[in-house]
Every structure is written in C-alpha cells, then in structure tokens.
A and B are shown apart, each in its own frame.
Chain A
Amino acid sequence: EDQVTQSPEALRLQEGESSSLNCSYTVSGLRGLFWYRQDPGKGPEFLFTLYSAGEEKEKERLKATLTKKESFLHITAPKPEDSATYLCAVQGMNAGNNRKLIWGLGTSLAVNP
C-alpha cells in the first residue's frame, strides 16, 4: 500500500538555525514527489516536484532532495516568515490516469525571531 510519513510532526527553530524535514514514502514506482507549504487558513502552495533519486531543487532558503526511500526539505537560516506547515505527497504508478496523490500529515514549523 502506498504510504507517506512525515517527521517530525512539529519543529520549533530559532531564526537562523538550519534544519531538515523528512518525508519517508512507500510507493509502487514513483512518478513524482511533491512538497507544499500551507499557511494557517490558506490552501497548500506548491513548492517543488522531484522525479528521481538524486534530484535536488532549490528555492530561496529551501532545498529539497530525494532518495529511493525518502525526501528531505532542508531549511537554511530560516526566518519567521518560513513558519508554516510543510506537506509532502507522492504519486505512484498505481495512480493511473487520475494522477491522485498520497499525502503525508505534514510538519508544522515555527521559527522564532
């Protein structure tokens, strides 16, 4: 069964204190792994798609990496405005033509000034 597990559930950092969020997945053939950011009261905002092991993508202070079993979202020198819930989702070959995603429960990140 396709599954996504995110850790930790919650993370509190001081401004400037770098860290990583983890997304472990089990899927029958990975089509893509997706990272989203969700602010309170808003819809998820797309960040990155990773397609194959070894791939990396960056956006400002965020860098996403992918292995055959997990993905990491590295946050370098975070600022308070990086506080949000970060969601991970995968799409497997079993998704078929509907391209459904399997979602993790998210990591709630708080960055203190």
Chain B
Amino acid sequence: NAGVTQTPKFRILKIGQSMTLQCTQDMNHNYMYWYRQDPGMGLKLIYYSVGAGITDKGEVPNGYNVSRSTTEDFPLRLELAAPSQTSVYFCASSYQPGQIKYEQYFGPGTRLTVT
C-alpha cells in the first residue's frame, strides 16, 4: 500500500512554461485535494475533487487546473508559470466509502521553483 504518491519531487520552471504535477492514491479514497504550502502561510487549498469527474475550486485556484478521470489520479496543471507559483505542492486524499473517517493522507510533496 503506497498511499499517496507524487511526481516529480523537484522541478525548476522558467516563467511562462507549463507543467503537470502528478498525484496517485491506492487507498480507494473518494476525495482528493491539492494544497500549496509557503513559509509562514500554512496550507492553502487549490482544488479538490469528491469523485471521478467532479472537481471544484479551493481558496487559491488562479493559474491552476485539475482533472479527475479516475478514482486514483488527480493531476494538477500549471499553465504559464509565474514566480508567485514557487511553492511546495501537496496532494492529499480522504474517505473510503463505508468508513466514517475523514482524515486526509498526504503525499511527499513537489517542490517547484519558477524563475
């Protein structure tokens, strides 16, 4: 049981480039989330999904897009990267059908630098 996996671990982008951050979970969780974490700012929710084919915006969605075609995968797309998107990105998942537990389980993170 690998839990939540994220790739890549590190990435450097030039301003204006695009990339996709990959996230996969093998816990049969319905809910998946993307956060960014900046020093002193805490975890900010970018996008979330309550199931395959269903996504919605969080607190800071501008500059990002997501899709959820399967239960397992929830990729985050950055279009036209900007220095303000330099951050550490975490994917999380929660809620297995039939269980009354809503704690979120996190991946190891992707450290992104935009220069």
Q: How far is the CB of B10 from chain A (nearest CB, A)?
A: 10
Q: B31 contacts which of A49, A98, A106 (Cβ < 8 Å)?
A: A98
Interface residues on A, range: 20 to 34
The distance in angstroms between the C-alpha atoms of A72 and B79, with both chains bound, is 41
The distance in angstroms between the C-alpha atoms of A91 and B92, with both chains bound, is 15
Q: B42 contacts which of A31, A46, A106 (Cβ < 8 Å)?
A: A106
Interface of B is mostly: strand
- Decide if A31 touches B102 in the complex (CB within 8 Å): yes
- Decide if B42 touches A99 in the complex (CB within 8 Å): no
- List chain B residues, Cβ under 8 A from A105: 40-42
How many residues of B are counted as interface, with CB atoms below 8 angstroms from the partner's CB atoms? 26
- Decide if B42 touches A104 in the complex (CB within 8 Å): yes
Q: Which of A12-20, A22-30, A37-45, A75-83 contacts B (4 or more CB under 8 A)?
A: A37-45
Q: Which residue among B42, B101, B103 has the maximum number of chain A CB atoms within 10 Å of its CB? A: B103
- Report how many A-B pairs have Cβ atoms within 8 Å: 51
Considering only residues 34-67 of chain B, those with a C-beta below 8 Å from chain A are 40-43, 45, 48, 50, 56, 58
The distance in angstroms between the C-alpha atoms of A42 and B105, with both chains bound, is 12
Considering only residues 85-115 of chain B, those with a C-beta below 8 Å from chain A are 90, 92, 94-95, 101-109, 111
Contact with B along A75-111 (1 / 0, CB 8 A): 0000000000001000100000111110111100000
Q: What would be 11 A-B contacts, judged by CB atoms less than 8 Å apart?
A: A41-B111, A43-B107, A43-B109, A44-B43, A98-B48, A98-B50, A98-B56, A99-B94, A100-B33, A104-B42, A105-B41
Q: B: which residues have CB within 8 A of A?
A: 4, 31, 33, 40-43, 45, 48, 50, 56, 58, 90, 92, 94-95, 101-109, 111
